[in-house]
Chain A
Amino acid sequence: MKYSPAELSYLKESLKASPPIRPDARLETQLRPIEAISNILPTANGSARIRASDGGECIVGVKAKVVPTSSTSELINVDVEISGLKENNSLASTLSSIFQSTLNSSQSLRQRLKLTSRFSFKLFIDVLVLSNQSHPLGLVSLTIYLALLSTKLPLLTSSTDDSKAEEVPVFHDDWDQARPLCDIPVTQSDSSKKSDSHWTPPLILLMAVVGENIFIDPTNAEEQVASTGLFISWSNGSISAPLRTLDIGSTDPQGISSTVLSKAYSIVEQCGQEISDSLTAVYVQDEDASSSDF
């Protein structure tokens, strides 16, 4: 949506103020309401759909395929399609590369996809953005997180050691025996029980910088007056790589100061765990509902 210079200046001043005033009266650490559901697609190993309150909608399907480990360098393939834009659109390819590199750099995910000494699962994460008003990075990240939580891989019944003789992996026939890709994240209260092998998908949170203030989950209007966008990843209960600036369509792009960076850190530390916990709650609820159907 187009805003007049007067509107933009009013918006910018109120966001720059201390404490800042967001047009929808949200806190700096507050996300807009979303509607999330997991496990919606029968033909995918894991799937999720998230609708944002501004009409944005994203669907993610995760499919796994057995491949010889030597044949592929990247075990996770992320493909983003944005409805209404061309296939080789720069926004879609930027999003694909951000998620692909973040997920592929996770050593424990690679470990989990390994089947035998010769074979691995390759994950295909296909993202469909049906509509978006603001930058879709945050929405896509939440949906990928939920889809990966709901991903189940069939149980391997053949031997895991095929270093001497090549053996094609054989899987259990019963889908109920499938193992989940991720561990259900422990809530903050019992995080002491967390083991080293514990893995949950990374969340990438998008923020907009206006003056000395920084806001999570910016709306389209906030993006326009922002000096730059910034995203930080949150995984396994702590901030992790990547941390990057991103062009979110600002009308007046500028650099960021170090105080903003530390503010961004504290925002993600405040809300990262809460976001992953609430998405986990959605998954657990959907899982209970689907198991009670039978």
Chain B
Amino acid sequence: MNLDSTFLSVNISVSPFSTVDRKKRPRNDRRIQECAMSIQRTFQEAIMGHLHSRTEIVISLHVLAQDGGFFAACINATSLALIDAGVPMYDYVSACSTALYDSISPLLDPNNAEESDLPFLTVATIGKTEKVSMLLLESKVPLDRLESLIAVTISGCHSLRDQMDRQVRKHGHLRITKRSE
């Protein structure tokens, strides 16, 4: 453990009623554990950990409803929660997924049905840069398609970053006006 930095611990719990068919997932499900680990590693780089050394930040994610984009939603929610908690970060971490249809056309933000049939990847970027902080690809994709797929996903991440920024500012404005009343 690095004592000069903040330690992040991530717990994800997926509710049994989150999908169309009820399914109870054990808490030590391998896929979910992997997901938690990736989130921890991604955000370890995104937060200014040196400002809060010898500190643990516990991130609890509860998935109540899901229809595709599970991992991306977890990352975006973590990003917003850390901002709400006032943890210093370099920029927003926004994530998005894209599926490849018919080996040609990329489909942004696939739902559950599309995810189960098509290869898809999830990308997270820091701020409005082309810097990819996390990339997850669990299925086969033709190599020559990969670049366009990543490009589409990054543009999705950028528009999500704008959306999140708008909401954070709106919320901040609301809080300030409430305080001054």
Cβ of B111 < 8 Å from any Cβ of A? no
Q: Distance (Å) between the CB of B49 and the closest chain A CB? A: 24
Interchain CB contact under 8 A, B13 and A81: yes
Interchain CB contact under 8 A, A42 and B65: yes
Chain B neighbourhood of A42, CB < 8 A: 65
Known pairs A65-B22, A79-B24, A87-B27; A41 contacts B64 (CB<8 A)? yes
CB nearest neighbor in A for B24: A79
* Residue from A63, A83, A87, A130 within 8 A of B22 (CB atoms): A63
Chain A neighbourhood of B27, CB < 8 A: 87
* Residue from B17, B26, B65 within 8 A of A126 (CB atoms): B17
CB nearest neighbor in B for A128: B15
Cβ of A44 < 8 Å from any Cβ of B? yes
What 1/0 flags go to B1-43 for Cβ under 8 Å of A? 0000000000001011111101010110000000000000000
What 1/0 flags go to A115-130 for Cβ under 8 Å of B? 0000000001010101
Interchain CB contact under 8 A, B62 and A43: no
A65 to B16, CA, bound (A): 13
Cβ of B60 < 8 Å from any Cβ of A? yes
Total A-B residue pairs with C-beta atoms closer than 8 Å? 49
- Where chain B touches its partner, the secondary structure class is loop
Known pairs A43-B65, A61-B15, A128-B15; A83 contacts B60 (CB<8 A)? yes
A83 to B63, CA, bound (A): 12
Total interface residues in chain B, CB < 8 Å: 17
Chain B neighbourhood of A81, CB < 8 A: 13, 15
Cβ of A37 < 8 Å from any Cβ of B? no
Interchain CB contact under 8 A, B13 and A83: yes
A40 to B15, CA, bound (A): 14
Cβ of A47 < 8 Å from any Cβ of B? yes
A40 to B13, CA, bound (A): 18
Task: From B19, B22, B24, name the one whose CB has the most chain A CB atoms within 10 angstroms.
Answer: B22
A130 to B63, CA, bound (A): 12
Q: Distance (Å) between the CB of A121 and the closest chain B CB? A: 12
Chain A neighbourhood of B60, CB < 8 A: 83-84
* Residue from A61, A87, A124 within 8 A of B64 (CB atoms): A61
Interchain CB contact under 8 A, A61 and B17: yes
Q: Distance (Å) between the CB of A153 and the closest chain B CB? A: 14
Interchain CB contact under 8 A, A124 and B62: no
| Contacts of A42-71 to chain B: CB distance below 8 A | 42-44, 47, 59, 61-63, 65
A128 to B62, CA, bound (A): 9
Chain A neighbourhood of B15, CB < 8 A: 59, 61, 81, 126, 128
Chain B neighbourhood of A83, CB < 8 A: 13, 60, 62
Interchain CB contact under 8 A, A41 and B62: no
A175 to B60, CA, bound (A): 34
Known A43-B67, A81-B13, A83-B60; further 19 A-B contacts with Cβ < 8 A: A40-B64, A43-B17, A43-B65, A47-B17, A59-B15, A59-B64, A61-B15, A61-B64, A63-B16, A63-B17, A63-B22, A79-B24, A124-B17, A124-B22, A126-B15, A126-B16, A126-B17, A128-B62, A130-B62
7 closest A-B pairs by CB: A61-B17, A44-B17, A63-B22, A126-B16, A43-B65, A126-B17, A63-B17
A-B contact pairs, 24 of them (CB 8 A): A40-B64, A41-B64, A42-B65, A43-B18, A43-B19, A43-B66, A43-B67, A44-B17, A59-B15, A61-B16, A61-B64, A62-B17, A63-B22, A79-B24, A81-B13, A81-B15, A83-B60, A84-B60, A87-B26, A124-B16, A124-B17, A126-B22, A128-B13, A128-B62
Residues of A bordering B, CB below 8 Å: 40-44, 47, 59, 61-63, 65, 79, 81, 83-84, 87, 124, 126, 128, 130
